[in-house]
């Protein structure tokens, strides 16, 4: 073979020089990979040995992609909480560190979707192209980054908005026995956020699948899924998955809050979360405390609820309002978990099974419910009537018990009872029918001006409906002043009462025509004839 033409020589030299350079630059890097071995598998828990450098809450990868969180770090072994189906795991399986903590996909793409805490869609609408991932455990905003609660979060439920007002950034506990309408209050609040520029996150923890399906279908039907994300974990999922769900949902909500949006998150319900955590702790052989819950159960709930707040202007001014739900047993609100949550939150709405049975829905027990910060955020028009209303209502509730015994009542007592019955009739509200603020104020003002007092009880529903319909006739400028903060001026009050008086005129009993003067009857003589 002849020598290569001189023209090829420099090209070949250049190519070889490049290769030589690359070869010289290559230094083989040994990357150590810690591999451990599963020594024991129990319900939702695995013990692993041989991962000496693993960090607390680090994710561990098991065969077939199953993940777990390193929870107990002991000298020889670590206890791992499994995040999914673990039937295939066996002692001797190899595990690997991942070097990261658990995170969740967040972003606008999640709106309208139903996902599990790992971000997998459950609604069959295809993959979710999330913007970024956030760790599920994040520190709560610092004190200096927080602002006072100043804007109301209207629930559309008259009993709540008037008597137990909730502000954006507040945490209000909803508690009551099973089947008392807890979920209904939360879902109604989500429905009422339509057009209010509030993003909602509904986090269903260990609920019956049928109950979750009903809630999501309801949201879908009313067009509320557009601004809502549902994060769902079922009761038969691994307890580890149940445990991380509310944290993951909070991170999803925080993404929107940090963008300056107002966000509402519903945790339905936290007793299931506490039970899952108790199960994990007992399996990990942590010492049980009161009601067999581990000692740090208070901390795990407060850590989560402290993330709900109203951020200061410098941090974008967003807010995260939390409505945690707790199911009580036999109306015992002083059980361990309910008292914990009552002390962590800024108030509670208590639902009474007795009221529920009487058909007084929503079954809110006004006496046992309170809102500790919402009053400051309440619209001025509510404040003008709410004080009297609460007082009149509690007086009525006290007297009502007496009236049941058929005691003969004096006029003042009868009047208090009649007024109270009308307040109760107005506060009754069917499910999924939020009432707008203007309608609420028209009804409340009419109540406080005693306009309903003469209306017969059986006509109350009709009277209220007619007044609410008439509320659309309230002048636009008055409505505008109602929706902005400020005082309810006398003129505005009069304008609203005029509308109310007209609307209720046909429900008032007709003025009785005066009876014709009867001929005087001669009194019978008492004396014996």
Ligand X SMILES: Nc1ncnc2c1ncn2[C@@H]1O[C@H](COP(=O)(O)OP(=O)(O)OP(=O)(O)O)[C@@H](O)[C@H]1O
- Interaction site with Mg ion (CB under 5 A): 183
How far apart are the C-alpha atoms of 512 and 374, rounded to whole Å?
46
User: What track of x and - describes contact with ligand X for positions 400 through 439 (by CB under 6 A)?
Assistant: -----------------------------xxx--------
Give the C-alpha distances (Å, rounded to integers) separating 168 from 152, 249, 322, 373, 510.
Answer: 6, 18, 9, 10, 46
14 is an active site residue: no
Bridge-based pairing of strands 94-101 and 35-42 is antiparallel
Taking alpha carbons only, the member of 388, 444, 394, 453 closest to residue 422 is: 453
Q: Which of 138, 146, 372, 383 is catalytic?
A: 372
Taking alpha carbons only, the member of 320, 238, 188, 213 closest to residue 68 is: 238
Taking alpha carbons only, the member of 137, 100, 326, 117 closest to residue 240 is: 117
By beta-carbon proximity to ligand X, the closer residue of 126 and 430 is 430
Tell me which DSSP letter residue 188 carries. H
Do residues 201 and 108 touch, judged by C-beta distance below 8 A?
A: no
Phi–psi pair at 108, nearest 5 degrees: -65, -25
Bond into 362 cis (ω within 30): yes
Instruction: Looking at residues 455 to 494 of the shown chain, list those that interact with ligand X (rule: CB under 6 A).
Output: none
User: Which option in ligand X, Mg ion, none does residue 189 bind, with CB closer than 5 to 8 A by kind?
Assistant: none
Tell me which DSSP letter residue 219 carries. H
Tell me which DSSP letter residue 314 carries. G
By beta-carbon proximity to ligand X, the closer residue of 115 and 271 is 271
Nearest distance from C-beta of residue 214 to ligand X, angstroms = 8
Taking alpha carbons only, the member of 261, 316, 346 closest to residue 146 is: 316
Out of 47, 180, 281, 416, which residue is the one contacting ligand X (CB under 6 A)? 180
Taking alpha carbons only, the member of 386, 385, 419 closest to residue 400 is: 419
Nearest distance from C-beta of residue 345 to Mg ion, angstroms = 18
- By the 10 Å C-beta count (0-12 exposed, 13-18 middle, 19+ buried), 171 is classed as buried
User: Which option in ligand X, Mg ion, none does residue 124 bind, with CB closer than 5 to 8 A by kind?
Assistant: none
| Stretch touching ligand X by CB under 6 A, among 48-56, 175-183, 254-262, 389-397 | 175-183
What are 366's two structure tokens? 């006004």
Nearest distance from C-beta of residue 350 to Mg ion, angstroms = 15
How far apart are the C-alpha atoms of 91 and 37, rounded to whole Å?
8
By beta-carbon proximity to ligand X, the closer residue of 110 and 184 is 184
What are 87's two structure tokens? 């039937």
By beta-carbon proximity to ligand X, the closer residue of 189 and 193 is 189
Nearest distance from C-beta of residue 63 to ligand X, angstroms = 37
User: Which option in Mg ion, ligand X, none does residue 206 bind, with CB closer than 5 to 8 A by kind?
Assistant: none
Tokens 């993959």 correspond to what residue? 127
How many C-beta atoms surround the C-beta of residue 368 within 10 A?
A: 15
Nearest distance from C-beta of residue 183 to Mg ion, angstroms = 3
User: Which option in ligand X, Mg ion, none does residue 273 bind, with CB closer than 5 to 8 A by kind?
Assistant: none
Out of 327, 346, 365, 492, which residue is the one contacting ligand X (CB under 6 A)? 327
How far apart are the C-alpha atoms of 406 and 15, rounded to whole Å?
108
Nearest distance from C-beta of residue 55 to ligand X, angstroms = 37
Our finding on whether 183 is near ligand X (CB under 6 A) is: yes
Do residues 288 and 279 touch, judged by C-beta distance below 8 A?
A: no
Our finding on whether 181 is near ligand X (CB under 6 A) is: yes
Instruction: Looking at residues 352 to 371 of the shown chain, list those that interact with ligand X (rule: CB under 6 A).
Output: 361-362
Our finding on whether 178 is near ligand X (CB under 6 A) is: yes
Number of residues that bind ligand X (CB under 6 A): 15
Instruction: Looking at residues 55 to 114 of the shown chain, list those that interact with ligand X (rule: CB under 6 A).
Output: none
By beta-carbon proximity to ligand X, the closer residue of 17 and 211 is 211
Tell me which DSSP letter residue 401 carries. H
Nearest distance from C-beta of residue 252 to Mg ion, angstroms = 21
Our finding on whether 179 is near ligand X (CB under 6 A) is: yes
User: What track of x and - describes contact with ligand X for positions 194 through 233 (by CB under 6 A)?
Assistant: -----------------x----------------------
Active-site residue numbers? 372
Site for ligand X, rule CB under 6 A: 176, 178-184, 211, 327, 361-362, 429-431
């Amino acid at each position: 073979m002849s020598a290569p033409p001189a023209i090829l020589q420099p090209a070949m030299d250049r190519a070889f020089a490049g290769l030589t350079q690359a070869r010289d630059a290559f230094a083989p890097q040994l990357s150590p990979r810690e591999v451990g071995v599963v020594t024991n598998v129990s319900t939702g828990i695995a013990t692993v040995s041989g991962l000496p450098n693993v960090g607390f809450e680090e994710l561990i990868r098991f065969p077939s992609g199953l993940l777990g969180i390193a929870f107990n770090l002991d000298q020889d072994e670590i206890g791992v909480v499994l995040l999914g189906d673990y039937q295939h795991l066996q002692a001797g399986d190899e595990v690997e560190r991942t070097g990261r903590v658990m995170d969740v996909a967040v972003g606008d793409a999640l709106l309208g979707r139903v996902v599990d805490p790992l971000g997998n869609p459950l609604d069959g609408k295809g993959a979710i192209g999330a913007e970024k991932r956030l760790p599920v455990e994040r520190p709560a905003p610092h004190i200096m980054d927080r602002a006072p609660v100043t804007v109301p979060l209207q629930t559309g439920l008259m009993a709540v908005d008037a008597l137990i007002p909730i502000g954006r950034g507040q945490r209000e506990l909803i508690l009551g026995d099973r089947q008392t309408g807890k979920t209904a209050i939360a879902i109604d609040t989500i429905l009422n956020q339509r057009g209010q520029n509030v993003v909602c996150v509904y986090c269903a923890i260990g609920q019956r699948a049928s109950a979750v399906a009903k809630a999501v279908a309801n949201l879908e039907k009313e067009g509320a899924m557009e601004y809502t994300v549902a994060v769902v974990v079922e009761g038969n999922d691994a307890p580890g998955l149940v445990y991380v769900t509310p944290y993951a949902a909070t991170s999803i909500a925080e993404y929107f809050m940090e963008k300056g949006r107002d966000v509402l998150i519903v945790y339905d319900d936290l007793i299931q979360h506490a039970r899952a955590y108790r199960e994990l702790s007992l399996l990990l052989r942590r010492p049980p405390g009161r009601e067999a819950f581990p000692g740090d159960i208070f901390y795990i709930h407060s850590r989560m609820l402290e993330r709900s707040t109203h951020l200061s202007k410098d941090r974008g001014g967003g807010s995260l309002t939390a409505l945690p739900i707790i199911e009580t047993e036999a109306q015992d609100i002083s059980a361990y978990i309910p008292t914990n949550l009552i002390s962590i939150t800024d108030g509670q709405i208590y639902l009474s099974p007795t009221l529920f049975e009487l058909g007084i829905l929503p079954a809110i027990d006004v006496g046992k419910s309170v809102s500790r910060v919402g009053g400051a955020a309440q619209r001025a028009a509510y404040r003008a009537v709410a004080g009297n209303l609460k007082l009149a209502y509690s007086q009525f509730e006290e007297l009502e018990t007496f009236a049941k015994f058929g005691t003969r009542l004096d006029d003042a007592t009868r009047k208090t009872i009649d007024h109270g019955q009308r307040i109760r009739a107005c506060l009754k509200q069917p499910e999924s029918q939020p009432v707008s603020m203007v309608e609420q104020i028209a009804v409340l003002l009419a109540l406080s001006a005693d306009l309903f007092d003469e209306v017969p009880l059986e006509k109350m529903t009709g009277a209220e409906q007619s007044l609410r319909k008439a509320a659309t006739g309230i002048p636009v400028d008055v409505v505008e002043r109602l929706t902005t903060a400020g005082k309810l001026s006398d003129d505005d009050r009069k304008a609203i009462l005029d509308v109310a008086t007209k609307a209720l005129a046909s429900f008032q009993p007709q003025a009785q025509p005066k009876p014709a003067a009867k001929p005087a009857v001669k009194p019978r003589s008492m004396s014996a004839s």
